[in-house]
C-alpha cells in the first residue's frame, strides 16, 4: 500500500472514528452553529460604517460572524447528507478528501442526491460561499479577482437561509429516523424530539 493511502480495514479504531463522524454528529454541529448564528443575528448590535468620499457602507457588527456561522452550519448539514449517502467517506480512520477543504457550498450541494429542492435553494449556498471564501473570513478578499464587497445579512437573506436550514434539517431527520447503512455496513437509526 502506498504511503498515505487510506486503508478501509475494519479495525476497532477505524470504527470508533467512523462512529464519531456519523451524519448525526455533523448534524448536531450544524444545529449548534445555526442556533448560535440565530442568537447573534437577533441580539442587539452596534453598527460599523466605513468608506471614503461618497461611498459609505454601514453594517451590523455581527454581520461577518453571522454570515460565517450560517455558512459553516449549512456546510456541516450538507456534509451530513454526503456521509449519509456515502458512508465510505468516513471509513479508514480519516475523512475523505471529498469532504475536506471544500468550502464551495454549491459544489457540495450539487453532490447530494437526497436534499430537498436543490435548484430552488442553490442561491443561498452560492451567496454564502462567496463570503466564506473571502470577505467574511478575512478582512479583505483573497485576491483581486475575488469579490471583496461585504454583503449584509438582510432580513430577506436571513429568511431564505433559515428556510433552507429548516427544510434540509427536516429531510435529514426523516432520513436518519429510518434504518440506514453507515460505515462498514453497520445499520443505524436515530430519533428526534422537538423542543418546547
Q: What is the CATH number of the domain that holds 118?
A: 1.20.120.330
Q: What is the pLDDT of residues 154-167, one digit of tens each?
A: 999 999 999 999 99
Domain residues for 166? 12-184
* Alpha-helix residue ranges (DSSP H) falling in 86-141: 105-111, 118-132
**Residue 134 domain-assigned (yes or no):** yes
Domain count, the chain: 1
**Residue 143 domain-assigned (yes or no):** yes
What is the rounded distance in angstroms from the CA atom of residue 8 to the CA atom of residue 135? 38
Task: Please give the pLDDT value at position 2.
Answer: 44
- Give me the residue label for grid cell 464551495: 104
Three cell numbers at 152? 449584509
Mean pLDDT, 10 residues at a time, over the chain (196 residues)? 55 93 97 97 88 82 92 96 96 90 82 94 92 79 74 92 97 95 93 80
**Residue 1 domain-assigned (yes or no):** no
Task: Please give the pLDDT value at position 149.
Answer: 75
Task: Please give the pLDDT value at position 196.
Answer: 60
Task: Please give the pLDDT value at position 94.
Answer: 92
- Give me the residue label for grid cell 461585504: 150
Task: Please give the pLDDT value at position 29.
Answer: 97
What is the rounded distance in angstroms from the CA atom of residue 180 to the CA atom of residue 176? 7
Give all strands (DSSP E) within the chain, no chain letters: 47-52, 55-60, 180-181, 187-188
Buried b (16+ CB within 10 A) or exposed e, 10-30: eeeebeebbbebbbbebbebb
- Give me the residue label for grid cell 451524519: 23
**Residue 121 domain-assigned (yes or no):** yes
**Residue 191 domain-assigned (yes or no):** no
Three cell numbers at 112? 447530494
Amino acid at each position: 500500500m502506498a504511503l498515505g493511502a487510506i486503508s478501509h480495514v475494519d479495525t476497532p479504531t477505524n470504527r470508533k472514528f467512523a462512529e464519531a463522524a456519523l451524519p448525526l454528529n455533523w448534524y448536531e454541529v450544524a444545529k449548534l452553529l445555526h442556533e448560535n448564528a440565530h442568537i447573534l443575528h437577533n441580539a442587539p448590535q452596534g453598527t460599523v460604517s466605513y468608506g471614503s468620499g461618497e461611498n459609505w457602507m454601514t453594517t451590523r457588527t455581527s454581520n461577518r460572524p453571522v454570515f460565517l456561522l450560517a455558512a459553516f452550519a449549512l456546510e456541516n448539514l450538507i456534509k451530513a447528507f454526503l456521509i449519509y449517502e456515502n458512508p465510505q467517506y468516513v471509513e479508514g480512520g480519516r475523512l475523505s478528501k471529498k469532504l475536506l477543504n471544500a468550502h464551495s457550498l454549491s459544489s457540495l450541494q450539487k453532490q447530494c442526491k437526497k436534499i430537498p429542492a436543490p435548484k430552488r435553494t442553490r442561491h443561498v449556498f452560492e451567496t454564502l460561499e462567496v463570503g466564506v471564501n473571502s470577505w467574511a473570513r478575512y478582512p479583505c478578499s483573497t485576491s483581486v479577482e475575488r469579490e471583496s464587497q461585504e454583503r449584509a445579512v438582510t432580513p430577506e437573506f436571513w429568511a431564505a437561509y433559515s428556510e433552507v436550514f429548516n427544510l434540509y434539517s427536516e429531510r435529514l431527520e426523516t432520513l436518519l429516523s429510518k434504518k440506514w447503512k453507515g460505515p462498514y455496513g453497520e445499520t443505524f437509526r436515530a430519533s428526534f424530539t422537538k423542543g418546547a
